[in-house]
Structure 1
Amino acid sequence: MKQNEKQKQSTRDLMGINEITDYSIKTPAGELIYFIIRPTNISVLSDTSVSARIYALMTVLKGIAEIEMLCLNSKENFDDNKQYLKKRIEDETNPVIQKLLQQDSSNLDRMQVQMATAREFLIIIRLKNEKEADIFSYLSRIEKSLKDQGFTTRRSDNADIKRLLGVYYEQNVTTEKYEDYDGERWIVREH
């Protein structure tokens, strides 16, 4: 019986999500609001500037008790493809094909280097029992605090949340639009 019940669970049930709203994810443990932070390339900053960025983040963290953080690696991983090409190059006897495979491998290396900084940093606010009327002013204060400390940020919307879930659970960084239901794009709606 338990196996049958598990098979009937939706994807949202399995992930512990009650609802995806226009601006949040509602879970049994609270409502999650995501702020997307554009990363700073600290490798080009001086030690003093890096210390200032750390202090700014510390200031934000001290001011918000409900804060959680998440870093997503929003880049494609080509390791399996590169291993496959390496094996093919070793096994290939035709020098022309070997050269083409080597070019493919070099192209994957270039693509991976270009995407190396494709990371997303998220500040997550978990709301529990807050009054609906107070939520947006509270979130605006958090966003203002982040911006006042020099962070480029924005609150995620429904499409952002679906994309973040796709990256987090599936490492899917190529889908442009996520559907609410599998096959939704094929439904013909009459107006």
Structure 2
Amino acid sequence: MKRQWKRQKKQADSTRSLMGITDITEHSLVTEHGELVFFMLKPTNISVLSDSSVSARIYALMNVLKGIADIEMLCLNSRENFEDNKNYLRQRMQAEENSVIRKLLQQDMTALDRMQVQMATAREFVLIIRLRDEKEADVQPYLARIEKSLKDQGFTTKKADKHTLKQLLGVYYEQNVTTEEYEDFDGERWVIFGDE
């Protein structure tokens, strides 16, 4: 009886509840452990900066971070990972007896390697602010102060909106970077409202 109840409960759980998310608002993810607000940071190509410029960027970020109590950082790939495809090509090359096809598979592997190198710097950096029991009237000024602090220190940033939050979840949980529009409910785009 207990197993059947667990199975039914698991089937009834939504994806959001399995991830610990109770709501996705216009500017945050609401969880059982607080509301999460995401600030997207545009990365700086530090490979072209001098050592002193890199030190200045680190110091600027340190100034921002020391003024914020509940902060977390996240770095995500914002492009596809081709490792599964490359593993498949390796297996096919080992199993293939025809040398011409092996050569074609090797060319495919080289093309994937080139694409991956070109996209290697495609990272997204996110500062996550965890709000815990803050009064609604205090939240927006607090977030505006953080955003201003980031911009004052020379960072290009914007607060993530609902679409960006769904995109982040898609990349983080599914490595899905190709979807343009994320639905609130699976299959939502196929529902025709008012049709009886």
Partner residue in 2 for 1:85: 89
| Alpha-carbon distance in 1 for matches of 2:20, 2:72 | 17
Matches within 5 A, 1:72-151: 72-151=76-155
Aligned with 1:185 (options 178, 189, 192):
189
Cα displacement string for residues 43-86 of structure 1 (whole angstroms, at most 9, x for unaligned residues):
22111111111100100011111211111122211112112212
Amino acid at match of 2:184: D
For residues 97 and 187 of structure 2, the distance between their equivalents in structure 1, rounded to whole angstroms, comes to 44
Structure 1, 107-116 or 125-134: larger mean CA deviation: 125-134
Q: Structure 2 CA distance, aligned partners of 1:160 and 1:53?
A: 25
Correspondent of 2:171 among 164, 167, 181: 167
The one-letter amino acid of 1:47's match is D
Q: In structure 1, the residue corresponding to 2:93 is in which secondary structure?
A: helix
Give the C-alpha shift of residue 89 in structure 1: 2.3
> SS of 2:40's equivalent?
strand
Output the CA distance in 1 between the equivalents of 2:98 and 2:13.
51
TM-score of the aligned structures, taking structure 1 as reference length: 0.94
- The more displaced of 137-146 and 126-135 is 126-135
Q: Give me the whole-angstrom Cα distance separating, in 2, the residues matched to 1:21 and 1:65.
A: 22
Q: Which amino acid aligns with 2:28?
A: S
1:14 to 14, 18, 26: 18
Superposition deviation, residue 12 in structure 1: 0.9
**From 64, 70, 79, the counterpart of 2:74:** 70
Distance in 2 of aligned mates of 1:93 and 1:26: 55
Q: Which segments of 5 or more consecutive residues in structure 1 lack a partner in the other structure?
A: none
CA offset at residue 8 of structure 1? Answer: 1.1
Q: Give 1:92 deviation, angstroms.
A: 2.3
Deviation, 1:180, is 0.2
Provide the rounded CA distance (Å) in 2 between the counterparts of 1:20 and 1:117.
29
Matched residues in 2 for 1:88 and 1:101: separation? 8
Counterpart residue identity of residue 61, structure 2: L
Equivalenced residue count is 191
SS in 1 for 2:73: strand
